[in-house]
Amino acid sequence: MTQRLPLHRQYPGIDQAYLRMPHVEKGMAVGLFGGSFNPPHAGHALVAEISLRQLDLDQIWWMVTPGNPLKDASELAPLAERLAQSEKTAKDPRIKVTAFEAAYHVRYTADTLTLIKARNPGVHFVWIMGADSLAGFHRWQRWRQIAMTFPIAVVDRPGSTLAYLSSRLTKTFYYARVDEADAPLLARSRAPAWTFIHGPRSSLSSTAIRNGKIR
């Protein structure tokens, strides 16, 4: 059996604090905002800020993933670089930048949420995603399990305002929709539960930034 290297050798240059789950207390409402953040930008920060306010959250975990199984990793910047950029982008102290998924060697959201739930009893979590991710959400591994683990908040993104009308996720769990006016209750709702949050939208895109279309 091959032994894994110690974390400080697997991820040189990364503060070990990033490889642990952020500290939480029982009873807290915590948003989970995951992605490659390659690179992070003001649009990501806007989603986090809207979620903090509309969902009445105590914290958001800005989870920088080692890599997205559905995306080409050839253009993926080093994890340490994406963490540093995320810290500069996420200015609210309630936003906790973390890369604990790397330490636990999990790559799929379903596994991440199962791990979080097991390690944080008594904490109320909600999964946060941009509306632009809805169209392909059913291609995520065990996407139904994700919806059954924690409530989901879908935050509006440019060109995706009506995405929930045709999304397989929202069609499958149409009965579990929570009115946007009740969004502050979502984190403490029993899954499946989801809501669509409207608000200011940013046209920024990580792909466009990487391709030099936005500077």
What's the CA gap between 172 and 170, in Å, rounded? 5
In this structure, what DSSP letter does residue 4 have? P
pLDDT tens by residue, 61-73: 999 998 766 566 6
Domain boundaries, the chain: 7-210
pLDDT band at 199; cut points 50, 70, 90: confident
What is the residue type of 193? A
Q: Is residue 9 scored above 70 in pLDDT?
A: no
pLDDT tens by residue, 78-113: 999 999 999 999 989 999 999 999 999 998 999 999
- Assigned architecture for domain 7-210: 3-Layer(aba) Sandwich (3.40)
Phi/psi zone of residue 29: left (φ > 0), alpha (ψ -120 to 50 degrees), beta?
beta
In this structure, what token pair is assigned to residue 97? 């930048």
Is residue 34 a contact partner of residue 113, using CB atoms and an 8 Å limit? no
In this structure, what token pair is assigned to residue 182? 């009740």
Give Cβ neighbours of residue 52 (< 8 Å, ≥ 6 apart): 31, 60, 92, 94, 95
What's the CA gap between 194 and 163, in Å, rounded? 14
Q: Rounded to 5 degrees, what are φ and ψ at 7? A: -55, -40
Is residue 13 a contact partner of residue 80, using CB atoms and an 8 Å limit? yes
Cα dihedral 29, 34, 40, 46 sign: negative
pLDDT tens by residue, 111-149: 999 999 999 999 999 999 988 888 899 999 999 999 999
